Amino acid sequence: MIWYIVCTTFVLFFCIPSENRPSEVRVNITHGTVIGSFDSYYKFYGIPYADSTAGVNRFQPPKPSPRFRDPFVANRQNITCLRPTRDGYDGIEDCLSLNVISPTVDHTRKLPVMVWIKGREINNFDPAFKNIIEKDVVVVTPNFRESVFGFLCLGTSKAPGNAGLKDIIAALKWIQQNIAAFGGDPHNVTIFGHGSGASIVDLLTLSLSSKGLFHKAIAQSGTAMAPWAVTRDNLLNAIKVAEALGHYVEDVNRLSDIFTRVRASALMAVINELESDNLLDFAPCIERVISDDNEPFLLKSPYQIFNAGEQLDVPFMTGFVDKEGAVVQESLIKDWFGIVNLQKDLNFNTEEEKQKITEQIKAFYSLNNSIEKDLYVTLAGDVMVYISTLRESHIRALTRTTPIYLYQFSYKGNLGKGLVEDDYSTKSVHGQELAYLFYENSYEACTAYDLAIAGMVVERWTNFAKTGMPTSETSSTDWQPFTKNNKYYLKIWNENDVPTTYNVRTNDASSLDILLRDPYTKTLAFWQDIYDKYFIDARSRWDIIHSDQDKDSIDITDDEYINNHTKGESFVEMYENMDNYVKDNKTEIEYHCINSTSTVIGFTLVVVSLLSIVNNLETSEIML
């Protein structure tokens, strides 16, 4: 009965009789009274957890939210922080709010809390948490500053860096102070996220600022050791944006001033056209100490922290799907050649070394000079997700005894088709497991196997949040942790590929999933040899190095820039009326702006760089 609701709740939601409409509910928190609604469960939307970040506070760490003068009506469900989109940008600067969804507001219940850290990969994805809440879990979804607003890292007092990560710290502190009023247990908090959200989850396990604020973590299809998770040139994109706006800057403090006063529309327009070396355009950085009253989020690289065993001592779950690289395939053979250097975590001293590794990659993946889509998709997934996830799992297991649970989601069913479209009929692709965790739709084609998989996934995720062990009442498989001696991982099967082999622990091949050992041994060994020789750690720099721009260019105001540049004369055209610009230039914007999502662009750029390598293109400087 529960899983029938999964497939029909979308329809039922819009058919609520008037007498059953949501009723008002009040909860008292440290800032005053919050008014939410009740409709099957309790919902509180848009509760501010920090003060405004507009104006001079644009890149500053968040400040505490003031008390409410009157009861706060928590009904603003669709607040988003400013971010680039396919058609320009959306969101607002004053955005630091969170949503709380709970099965109860009884402060004595002390239910486990799951905090969803959203990624930028699937912008049209609106997760429904009903299935998680039905497991007696409180869900919190915080907004945090994104793109340049969250991750401009200049090392100055105005823009110290990692504002978005510090926003999440502030939200987690709010949860510690207030979640009991919503029936939650502040001593049993799990953070979880997907893609770029997963890398943020992982980074939170590396920061001393996070200590005591959460107790378990789930990182799906992304980690802190991914080559795109932490920037390796924190000033590069900032300088590009400033130059695109008409400024020649030799000092980071001057750069801070420019970014603080420029209009958000101008920033978003430039960033949408920015040719970035990094998947996230503006990504988390390694900070420097500026003053005693400004606490850095990250002072060492993820690799340094993991290698020293200095990560927080919390149970950790991570994993991936079969075809992580499939997100790039629509753009794989289009106009992306020569745009970007590859993999900032590898560096070669000579062209001979680079060519040698190029030939090794071509041989390992059976690549030739033709476009064989599936092979390049496999390579993209390995580079962007698989290898970093496996390398990190091994390092975590070597340096700490805290449980690590590794999974591979292989199921390809009807429920996921409403979320991610792809050309793979039997392989799961990036983001598809989200449909089975908390996506609700009205598909009549949901099969019994779809619902069984969904039930099992929700059980494992919520039981991990409750106890630290991802058990399932639906599956008979005993998911064992990944350790230095026993590298177990759980594979969630596709119903068409359920093997006739046995489970290594129970000799049971009839379950929905199976426990296996030593994932991707051959692939990991190949890449580990490369990383052992050519790995370059994440770092930040604080001295400005200019690109090839006329040093005699002068600073101009934003209005002067907009008025003095006609279409086709500048790096990016900006108009005061951005809505009209989007409408009048829809075709051009669709070509230049983010094609679908940040991950689509990032994965595509990575694969194009790989194509450049294996085909020996001369159009860019390529660094593996």
The confidence band for 424, taking pLDDT boundaries of 50, 70 and 90, is: low
Answer yes or no: are the C-beta atoms of 149 and 164 closer than 8 Å.
Answer: yes
Answer yes or no: are the C-beta atoms of 437 and 194 closer than 8 Å.
Answer: no
Pairing of strands 184-194, 216-220: parallel
Q: Which two tokens stand for residue 489?
A: 């991982």
Over residues 441-468, mean pLDDT: 85
> Which of 141-145, 234-238, 271-275 comes out lowest in average pLDDT?
271-275
Q: Is the pLDDT of residue 495 over 90?
A: no
From the number of C-beta atoms within 10 Å of its C-beta (0-12, 13-18, 19+), residue 339 rates as middle
Q: Is the pLDDT of residue 491 over 50?
A: yes
Q: What letter does residue 48 receive in the DSSP assignment?
A: E
What Cα–Cα distance (Å) separates residue 337 from each residue in 4, 109, 348, 459, 620?
Answer: 47, 56, 21, 44, 8
Answer yes or no: are the C-beta atoms of 114 and 437 closer than 8 Å.
Answer: no
519 Cβ neighbours under 8 A, 6+ residues apart: 390, 406, 408, 487, 489
The strand pairing partners of 559, in sequence order, are none
Q: Is the pLDDT of residue 268 over 60?
A: yes
Percent of the chain surpassing pLDDT 90: 50
Quote the CA–CA distance of 603 and 524 in Å, as a whole number: 20
Ordered by where they begin, the domains of the chain are: 2-314+334-376+521-534 (3.40.50.1820)
Output the pLDDT for position 452.
86
The strand pairing partners of 320, in sequence order, are 408
> Which of 5-14, 223-232, 451-460 comes out lowest in average pLDDT?
5-14
The 10 Å Cβ neighbour count of residue 253 is 13
Output the pLDDT for position 308.
95
Q: Is the pLDDT of residue 590 over 60?
A: no
* pLDDT: which is higher, 499 or 366: 366
The strand pairing partners of 482, in sequence order, are 487
What are φ and ψ of residue 113, in 5° steps? -120, 130
33 Cβ neighbours under 8 A, 6+ residues apart: 26, 27, 68, 71, 72
The confidence band for 371, taking pLDDT boundaries of 50, 70 and 90, is: low
Output the pLDDT for position 275.
57
Q: Is the pLDDT of residue 612 over 70?
A: no
Helix (H, G, I), strand (E, B) or coil at 487: strand
Q: Is the pLDDT of residue 505 over 80?
A: no
Q: Is the pLDDT of residue 381 over 50?
A: yes
* HEC assignment per residue over 568-598: CCCCCCCCCCHHHHHHHCHHHHHHHCCCCCH
Output the pLDDT for position 140.
98
Quote the CA–CA distance of 182 and 410 in Å, as a whole number: 36
The confidence band for 497, taking pLDDT boundaries of 50, 70 and 90, is: low
Over residues 142-164, mean pLDDT: 95
Q: Which two tokens stand for residue 376?
A: 């390049």
Quote the CA–CA distance of 24 and 73 in Å, as a whole number: 10
Quote the CA–CA distance of 84 and 412 in Å, as a whole number: 30
Output the pLDDT for position 18.
41
Over residues 313-331, mean pLDDT: 80
Q: Is the pLDDT of residue 79 over 90?
A: yes
* HEC assignment per residue over 121-171: CCCCCCCCCHHHHCCCCEEEEECCCCHHHHHCCCCCCCCCCCHHHHHHHHH
* pLDDT: which is higher, 329 or 163: 163
Q: Is the pLDDT of residue 608 over 90?
A: no
Percent of the chain surpassing pLDDT 70: 72
Highest mean pLDDT among 419-423, 448-452, 541-545: 448-452
Output the pLDDT for position 250.
86
Over residues 339-364, mean pLDDT: 78
The confidence band for 419, taking pLDDT boundaries of 50, 70 and 90, is: low
Output the pLDDT for position 221.
94
63 Cβ neighbours under 8 A, 6+ residues apart: 50, 51, 57
Q: What is the pLDDT of residues 119-151, one digit of tens each?
A: 875 554 557 899 999 999 999 999 999 999 999
Q: Is the pLDDT of residue 341 over 50?
A: no
Quote the CA–CA distance of 109 and 183 in Å, as a whole number: 5
**Which helix H or strand E contains 458, and what residues bound it?**
helix 448-467
Output the pLDDT for position 70.
97
Output the pLDDT for position 412.
79
325 Cβ neighbours under 8 A, 6+ residues apart: 376, 377, 378, 379, 380, 381, 382, 383, 384, 385, 430, 603, 607
Output the pLDDT for position 580.
38
What are φ and ψ of residue 175, in 5° steps? -60, -45
* pLDDT: which is higher, 624 or 212: 212
